[in-house]
A and B are shown apart, each in its own frame.
Chain A
Amino acid sequence: MAVDTAHPAGAVAGSGSPILPGALKDAFLTGLIALGLLGPLVGFETVVIDGALGLAYRPLVVAIMVGIIVAGRLILNLTVWSPNRPPKAQAGSSPVARGILAISPAFKPALLAFAVGFPFFATLMTGGLSESRYLIDLGILILTYVMLGWGLNIVVGLAGLLDLGYVAFYAVGAYTYALLATSAPVNDFFAAILGETFWANWAFWFCLPAAGAFAGLWGMILGFPVLRLRGDYLAIVTLAFGEIIRLVLINWVDFTGGGAGIASIPRATFFGIPFTAGEDGFAALFGLEFSPMHRLIFLYFVILALALITAFTTVRLRRLPVGRAWEALREDEIACRSLGLNTTNVKLSAFATGAMFGGFAGCFFAVRAGFVSPESFTFDISAMILAIVVLGGMGSQIGVAVAAAVMMGGMEMLRNLGFLKQIFGDGFDPSLYRMLLFGFAMVAIMIWKPRGLVSSRDPTIYLKEKKAVSGSLVKEGHG
């Protein structure tokens, strides 16, 4: 936030060689603006005292924030933005970028190996299965967002369609499984055909493809009328659809259980073998001691597999004509149309594919939590996934994965840092600041590195030799 407000006064500073007066004046103006921006909302807090609204004052916080901004601005004006400073010679890529390029071939396999071995590391590190529960839960959460990020990446990163209602497909997937697995007629029907225990043990595995297919279908139904719209309109309409689905889930109480949601959704099984302590259970059959952690570790591998399927499909699709059409569409829609591409179909395929992966992730969410409610599918989730895609670099698989891990894992780590509590007092909860940081990071990344943190991108097509394309050389068409 400090950086955010430090910019407005613009590059007025220092025209002559004695830059100090100019820098001081500029810093003063910045401070004035910062005071105007922060003063009302940070300086006063509305508090309810005895049922009536009153004000609490926080002049110290404002003073500190404005002080930081003024000092920062002054220092920047005298050093980095100083007109006397010789311009930096830009010869090739920076050493950091070269370093990243050098290790990048080893990065992906290393990351994959870490992801596969993570449950074992976690168990070893914490010294026991049940102690590693927290880490495994965190791993599942991160991988869910990696998968959602990769799914949305198809729509936003590859096809260049801004989808603000991605959470709708996540919700469709989750509710498909929740409703199918808990509805009596469906259960009776399949139990009669397949046998009662068989259906009970296999429900998740039958519903998973159904959830994906259903979400993809919804993607088509919603996408078809709106995909002819231009970019910004599409974003708003997808946002509206996301909200409509959530409102319907809340208000259609007979069908979806309303705001209370659906509870006691059947658990996942190890391909038909339930994770129970009984004789047919997973532990007994494999000769292990029963532990509820087996199910969690299995779930970890399920979401890892689902995420990898998403990544693999995307990589393969990019090599097919449809994938090339997506990327061409992102670069220049009018050129695509003049070359005879049916843009509506191309967009629709991207939209439906992205939606399908959202549906898979939603189905997984339902089986992991055992409970779904509309509260889990708010606009915040859409915004979070979009932030992950944007920060990771639209179109970059590895970037999205890293961004998801940093955003979800980093916030979780921050929560446990004791010294933050000592600085800011006991009531400090970093998770409150998560969305604040997400929003700020989205703005910052658009301004400084619009290609995302991992901005180099593998070219889809190349002649003889595959050269990495630096982000600064790729420029998108101005639509």
Chain B
Amino acid sequence: MRMIIIYDGPMHVKPKIKAREIMVLAFHKRNVLAMFAGVCLSGMALADGAPVITIHNARFEPDELVIAQGVRTQVLIRNQDAIPAEFESYDLSREVVVPAHGEVSFFVGPAEAGRYEFFNDFNRDMKGVVVVKPAAGER
């Protein structure tokens, strides 16, 4: 695995550039620590590969979330807008307020294959759908 760190520290030392490989070094210890902590924390907070739905400019992104059939999945809703939203789904019986610039997570499934709609109860024009697909190898 190759790790690329974006350089944003002061130019005490010029980055070394090797042939066929770009290595940008960060010389600010603080930045490296922050990135390391960020990677660890985001890994710890949720199960691996937990799907994320972002609320941005009064839209769900993505507005179609695919999850596997028969699996309990933890979904993270991240609100980047300045107003709170209420993620709600009659089809899945889910209802959760997502604070402005905040994030919440909840569980979905295990569910049968199908389409399960959701919306923002504070702005019903914002809609999306959770698509539950049969797991690979199952037909």
Indicate whether A and B interact: no
